[in-house]
Amino acid sequence: MTAPLLILGVSRSGTTLLRVVLDRSPGIAIPDESFFIPLLARRHRGQVDRERFLDDVRRLPAPAAWGLAPADVASHLRSPASPGGAIAAIYEAYATKQAKPRWGDKTPMYMRHLPLLERLFPDAQYVHLIRDGRDAALSFLRMPERTFTRTWAHPDTPAEFACLWRTEVAAARRLGLRVGSSRYLEVRYEDLVAGLEGVILEICEFANLPYEPAMLDYTQAVDVSEKPHQQRLLQPLTPGVRDWRTEMAAPDIRAFEAIAGDLLVQLDYDLSQPLGESSRGAKLALARYRATLGAWNAAVSATQRSPLWRRRHPPLTTTAERPARG
């Protein structure tokens, strides 16, 4: 298969909308969020043990939800396989089921693992969707409980979300500088909702994907019955559905801009007041966020690499594997 297309973006930046539209192209299959790339990369280093890898695949919720059995993945798993090649086999199996020649991914959590993505998929292309961080904060902080995984660094205030937004957006832009314009495209959420067709055409040209007008007619083709935070996918696009100018309290605006105002300016977003020097409090908040996130990642890595992981994650079955009743 050809190089994967990885959609990047901070949580609540419109990446689900972009995934749904691009997935309707006959040229690519982009499943729902996977979550398993860092896990499998931690558990399988060097040359991958085929049977051990497939046993882990059987324990992952995402492939089962995509209708994949280990046997589907096995037919795409080359020997010997690198960790990146083995992980790609899962997506290749999904793309084959969808009769598509290429695979992609959209998992905002991977914004914290960009060097890993580079290492695993050295030929990948990236589309980075950026949204004004203050609007993204409004959407993120209103998400219902149980619709996200809470880490030690989970933001609970606009200022805390500013730390996440600044860190992740800046990291993705540095990635873009490393891989170059043939592999990295930056688009804006605000442009996407104001002119969907134009942005999708730009992405299709960048990624060499076939474009069809039916890609834009997605509202009747998505199932968000179990996703209360994605109900807007059933409605026509509405620019300005979140507006920090009218919905965010003035102290929260100032706190966000104190931490991420310089990046907002670099991205040509307006500020509520002229940009000042970064305060000591803002620098401490960023340092605290990065240290806390680093501690969380270290703890998760240790747990996932231990024998306890398999005990806590029994094998799952897909619909195709379940015996018929009667």
Instruction: State the CATH architecture for 5-219+238-321.
Output: 3-Layer(aba) Sandwich (3.40)
What is the rounded average pLDDT of the residues 219-224? 63
Q: Which long-range contacts (CB under 8 A, 24 or more apart) does 71-77 make?
A: 72/96, 72/97, 74/50, 77/48, 77/50, 77/53
The pLDDT of residue 33 is above 80: yes
Domain range annotation of the chain: 5-219+238-321
* pLDDT at residue 174 in the model: 98
* pLDDT at residue 236 in the model: 66
The pLDDT of residue 326 is above 60: no
Per-residue pLDDT band for 26 (boundaries 50, 70, 90) equals very high
CA atoms within 13 A on the CB side of 36: 26
**Quick one: angle between helices 250-266 and 280-305, nearest 10?**
80
The pLDDT of residue 224 is above 60: no
* pLDDT at residue 30 in the model: 97
The pLDDT of residue 299 is above 60: yes
Whole-number percent of the chain with pLDDT over 70: 90
What SS3 state is found at 53? helix
128 neighbors 6 (Cβ within 8 angstroms): no
CA distances from 172 to 65, 113, 177, 248, 268 (A): 28, 10, 9, 26, 17
pLDDT in tens, 156-213: 999 999 999 999 999 999 999 999 999 999 999 999 999 999 999 999 999 999 999 9
